[in-house]
């Protein structure tokens, strides 16, 4: 397995600096978090953004208030294809920001953000989600990161190294800011989101990424939203307001590498 993985790691990233390069991916955007960090998110409906649950927390473990989050669809070199403020954000109910790193924490590291106004634009088309990919299947990731924060980058030649019940281990290149990035299955049926990037780790000396396979998490969060999750009144899910600090260029922090996933990962 390792020689093939090493080869995939050497393919690098394609930076979509021009709008033409990134036109098909403008539903992926940068999430601004309390003016101090950022993550990556993607539209799955005109008013819902899929991302990682840990992106909704500040360093003190408090949930960010909706007014502290903005979605910049197709952000590129200081401009976005669409700007939206946030109505509410809801993490998976079983995600625990304070929990020790584990496959279960990765599995539940999923959240939905509802925008104040839908994005209805013929060039910004929400993505559909799909079933988990198989081991050895090629996938692609579109992400922002601390060293490529002003334009999205794509790696469409990475592979699924291990597909366990609660975590996908992939050879995709990710870094701080890539949290919440969509992992795509790319075939004749188009691009489908099959995972959300949760963290980075290592397989031996080889960098890998960990993602949540999308099973029933989205439906669970939608069910919570239908019962008022994320709203100020009448909801136990009201976020606590975060203290605004000076912006950090490192983006939102990943969870620490998971130990013992298929014997591959170590701190």
Whether residue 74 lies inside any domain: the answer is: yes
Note the pLDDT tens digit of each residue in 72-116.
Answer: 999 988 899 999 999 999 999 999 999 988 899 999 999 999 999
pLDDT greater at residue 12 or residue 212 = 212
Report if residue 84 sits inside a domain.
yes
pLDDT score recorded for residue 5: 28
Question: Is 202 within a domain?
Answer: yes
Domain presence at residue 173: yes
28 vs 35, higher pLDDT: 28
The C-alpha atoms of residue 203 and residue 89 are separated, in whole angstroms, by 33
Predicted TM-score (pTM) of the model is: 0.83
267 lies in some domain? no
Question: Residue 263 above 60 pLDDT?
Answer: no
> Per-residue pLDDT tens for 122-155?
889 999 999 999 999 999 999 888 777 888 888 8
Q: How does DSSP assign 211-254, residue by residue?
A: EEE-SSHHHHHHHHHHTTTT-SSS-TTPPPPPPP----TT-SPP
Q: In the chain, how many domains are there?
A: 1
What CATH number does residue 9 fall under? 2.40.10.10
User: Residue 149 falls within a domain, yes or no?
Assistant: yes
Show the domain range for 138: 2-226
Is residue 231 in a domain? no
Contact 163, 132 (CB under 8 A): yes
Give the three-state DSSP class for 112.
strand
At 19 the pLDDT is 56
pLDDT value for 39: 94
Taking only the tens place, the pLDDT of each residue in 50-82 is 999 999 999 888 999 999 999 999 998 889 999
């Amino acid at each position: 397995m390792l020689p093939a993985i090493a080869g995939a790691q050497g393919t690098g990233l394609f930076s979509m600096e021009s709008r033409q390069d990134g036109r098909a991916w403008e539903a992926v955007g940068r999430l601004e978090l309390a003016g101090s960090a950022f993550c990556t998110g993607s539209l799955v409906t005109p008013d819902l953004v899929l991302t990682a649950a840990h992106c909704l927390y500040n360093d003190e473990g408090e949930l960010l208030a909706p007014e502290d989050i903005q979605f910049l669809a197709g952000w590129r070199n200081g401009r976005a294809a669409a700007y939206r403020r946030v109505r509410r954000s809801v993490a998976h109910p079983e995600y625990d920001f304070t929990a020790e790193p584990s496959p279960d924490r990765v599995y539940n590291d999923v959240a939905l953000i509802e925008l104040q106004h839908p994005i209805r634009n013929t060039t910004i088309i929400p993505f559909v989600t799909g079933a988990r990919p198989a081991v050895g299947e090629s996938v692609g990731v579109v992400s922002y990161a601390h060293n490529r924060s002003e334009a999205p980058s794509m790696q469409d030649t990475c592979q699924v190294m291990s597909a366990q019940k609660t975590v996908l281990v992939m050879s995709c290149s990710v870094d701080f800011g890539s949290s919440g990035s969509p992992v795509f299955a790319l075939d004749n049926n188009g691009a489908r989101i099959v995972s959300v990037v949760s963290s980075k780790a290592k397989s031996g000396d080889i960098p890998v990424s960990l993602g949540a396979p999308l099973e029933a998490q989205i439906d669970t969060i939608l069910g919570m939203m239908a019962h008022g999750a994320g709203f100020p009144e009448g909801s136990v899910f009201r976020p606590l307001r975060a203290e605004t600090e000076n912006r950090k260029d490192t983006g939102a922090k990943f969870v620490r590498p998971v130990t013992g996933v298929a014997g591959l990962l170590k701190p």
